[in-house]
Structures are given as structure tokens and as C-alpha cells.
Chain A
Amino acid sequence: MKDEAIIRGGWPKGSWRRFTAESLWQGAIGAGKSAGYMLCGFAILLGIWAVVSGVSQSLPGPFTTLKTLARMLADPFYDNGPNDKGIGIQLVSSIGRVFAGFALGSLVAIPAGVLMGASSTCRRLFNPLVQLLRPVSPLAWFPIGLAVFKHAGEATIFVIFITSLWPTLINTAFGVGSLPDDHRNVARAFAFSRGRYLRRILVPFSLPHILTGLRLSLGIAWVVIVAGEMLSGGIGIGFFVWDSWNALSLERVMSAILLIGLIGLLLDRGFDFIARKVSYAS
């Protein structure tokens, strides 16, 4: 619930900007300003990074790292056998697993969350279970996944599935459960059928909450996949990081960190974009 409040706070709700010349100009100035701040922030990071790498020797500096990154991105999809594939192949494989696990997790978590939010019996039955399992690191489920599915790849997807369950489940249940009596009374006073109640009241009301849950789930899934693939090996960005460490190429590790961050950011922004489309001003 805490996460939810923080993220919701960041969403501009119900701000209809008129596209006049003035507001466009204001927008351009605002965008320029934030780009300036961002560049300064990166410059500070690069400076600290350069100093630390100069002192420590073992850490590659920004220049060598960026050169390595450029080389990696120049040919992202080469494939020289099982232990030597381009960074593009690794990333696509990781994103594929994340979305597979995330999709399966959401398919379970959204209906379960609706049930828990709508029925106090379901909430009482399953809430203790959720509270017990939620704090468990999803990686602890990896051996279970291996035992059941016999393959590391499927076990990784299983780990992401577990990861994606909790934030979606909890936020969906919260959203559905916090439907105001006022809205419910409208449905009763005007004799809404069950279908109309779902379509016109429950779903539109809970959708922003559900999307908040999905957004948190996807974010955590992207965090967990790296560790998951370090365990599973074979292919993926996590495997790439661990493999680079074994090959003593910290430049590649640092490059991978930058790419992981960038993709995580893009996933989050994509979700934010969708969430804004369905949010409403109350």
C-alpha cells in the first residue's frame, strides 16, 4: 500500500493542458530545463566514476566502459554458440522471460485480487497466506521450479511468475476493496446488472490500482530476472553479467548495468503512459 501511494503521487491526475502557443513554449522551456538537470546529474556521476576508477585501478573507467558498450551495441545479435552471444540476444531472452512470467503472474493475481477485494471471506482466507509468502525472496522458489519443470529456463519464468504475483494481487485487492459506498449505491439505486456493475463501476474504479500493481510487479520482475539468470545460467542478461565477471571483463559488467537500467526505465515509462490513459479525475 505504501508503494502504491508513492507511485500514485507521481501521476499527474486530471490535468488537461490546452495546447496554446504559450503553453507549448512553457513546455519547451520546462523540458529544456529538466534535460539540463539530467545532463548535469550524469556529468557528476561520470566525474565520480572517473575519480574512483582512477584511484582503485580494478574498476574500469567511464571511457573504457563506454567503448566496450559501443562495441557490444555495434553487433548486438551475433551468435557464436551457447556461451558467446550478442548483448541483444541476451536482452531479448531476458525480456521474453520477464513478460512470460509477468503475464502468467498477472493472469492469476488480477482475478485473485478482485476476489480478495470483493469478498471478505476470500480476504480472510488468503490474506494471511499472502502476507506469509510475500516477504520471501522469489529466488528461494528457484529450486522448486527446477524440481517441477526440470529446466532452468522454465524455473526462471516460474521465479518471475512468483515475483509478479504479490504487488498486483495486493494492489488489485486494495483497489477493489476501496470502492466507495457512493458508487456501490449508484449501482443499487439504478438496478445495475452484475455485468454493468463490473464494466461501468468496479473495473474503471480499480483499473488505476491494478495498473499500479502491474507496474510495480514488472519493475521488480526486471530486478529479479538478473539474479534469477545468474542462478539459471545459459542465456539472458543475468547470465551475461555473471559470465563477464568470470571472464574478468568488468567493462562488460558495467555496460550491462547501464543497459539493464535503461530498459528498466523504458518498461516503467511505458506503463506510466498506459496508466495515465486510464486514470480519471475524481
Chain B
Amino acid sequence: MSAQYLQARDVTISFDTPKGRFTAVKNINLTVKRGEIVSIIGHSGCGKSTILNAIGGLVRLSAGEIVLGGVTIDAPGPDRGIVFQHYSLLPWLTVYQNIFEAVDSVRADIGKSEKAALVESFLKKVNLWESRDKKPAQLSGGMKQRVAIARAFAIHPEVLLLDEPFGALDALTKASLHEELVNLLQMDNKTDTVLIVTHDIEEAIFLSDRIVVMTNGPEATIGEVIDVPIPRPRDKREIVHGPEYVEVHDRLLYLLMDAFAAHKKSAA
């Protein structure tokens, strides 16, 4: 069971658009083990976010099925925590309220004071307890994303789904958030399985056990799955010199730049 914890079977997702039917991804087959960290990497428009949203239950499948822990997914659920691309904090709520509303909604099983304690502990874990009364507009991009990550962790999901979580951040903020994420995952005894959509090769290698490389859309599918045999804990400055890192990095570069290179569009 745990070896086939999360499974996508022959998943195809199409959308009706004004220009006709558009197939974003086709024949996706993917198996993720419990406790695995998997990145999905590819060029813009390769449908990687679509796959993530499908696992999140936010997108309807046109064919195939996604099974999580033996149950077919057809809607969002508290077993999956989502961190959206654009933070998706509610701008009229404070940092604290943004997390509390999610906890209050999902965790019907615990009392008010336990919920408050939960929110407090996660705000402290991401070093935002001091900023709890601020509105999102008063926060930097990195702080907003930490709130979004804390919100996803705070509902105690088994699976964490991250949709280009660090795409809009500068390199330094990104690096420190990578380490924070890894630390949070180590500390948490419930959330252990992670899917990350990214277009950042270094990010994918540092964070993942396996990297799924998408072909180009439309009708994108999985081109190749690469193992990342770098032992943990990983030190950002050290691993880049290791032979495993260089090999994975070169392979990814080759796939993304040559094998599944972005289509060169003719001047329209």
C-alpha cells in the first residue's frame, strides 16, 4: 500500500475553451510512495500545475483516475494541503486569521483553544508570530509564502501540494525557504509526502527524491522520471559539487533544453 500510496492512472485532462477542446495533459501514469518528495518540472504550459490541481481535487479528470491511500480522489480534502502559486492569502484577513480560518474549517475534531494553539505553533515555526496581526499587503513575498506554507501544514495533511511555491521570490529568499520547508517536513510527523511543481532545476534537485520531467503541451505527458540519489540531510553548498548532483543536473538540462525543448514559435 505505502509503495503505491498516491497513484495517477492514465489521467487525461481536457478543457472546453472558446476555441474548442484543449487537452492539457494526456496519459499521465505516476506512482508516489508514502514519504516521498517528488518534483514535477517542465516548461510553461506543460500542464504540470494541472496535474497538481487534479491531485488536489480542484480539476476534474477527463479520463483515468487518481487514487490516494486506496481512495479515488474527486474533490479537495483535508488529507491534502495546497500551497498556491500566488500565495492565495485572503487580503482582508490578518496573517493569524488566514491560518485560523483554514484550521477552523478543516479541523472540526478539535476545540477552539486547541485550534488557537495549533495556529500559534505553526506561526512560530515559520517565524511569523510577531507579524500575526498584519495584513498580507504589509508582508514581503517571502513572508506571504511562509504564511501559505504554515496554513497548508496547519491542517495536518498527509500530502503537501506546492504549485511553483517559490517562483516569484528572489534567489536568497528562495534558498532560505527551501531549508525552512525541509525543516518543517522533518519536524512534522503527519505531513511527509510532497509534490512540488517547479521550473527551477536547482530547486527540484535540492528538494526531491524523484523528479518528473514533462514533455511540452498541449497533450503533455511524462517524458522521464529521474531519481535523485543524494543522501539527506543535504547541504546546499556541498551537494552542488557531488557527482550525483552534476549527473542529475546535466540530465535535466539535456531533457529540458534539447529533448523536450520549448517549441520555437514562428513569428505570427
Residues of A within 8 A of B (CB): 14, 16, 182-183, 185-186, 188-193, 196, 200-201, 204-205, 280-282
Contacts and interface: CB of A to CB of B under 8 A. Distances in A.
B76 interface: yes
B84 A182 contact: yes
B91 A193 contact: no
B184 interface: no
Interface string B70-112: 0000011110111010101011110000000110111000000
B101 A189 contact: no
Nearest to B88: A182
Given A182-B86, A200-B90, A191 B101 contact: no
Given A188-B76, A190-B155, A280 B105 contact: no
Interface in B125-141: 135, 137-138
B56 interface: yes
Contact of B88 (A14, A185, A205, A280): A185
A281 B59 CA distance: 29
Contact size range, B: 20 to 34
B58 interface: yes
Contacts of A191: 76-78, 105-106
B202 to A, nearest CB: 27
Contacts of B138: 16, 281
A186 B91 contact: no
A189 B101 CA distance: 12
Contacts of B106: 190-191
Given A189-B82, A281-B135, A282-B91, 12 more contacts: A16-B138, A182-B88, A183-B88, A185-B58, A186-B90, A188-B57, A189-B56, A190-B155, A191-B76, A191-B78, A192-B105, A205-B92
A193 B88 CA distance: 18
Given A14-B137, A282-B137, A190 B90 contact: no
A10 B108 CA distance: 43
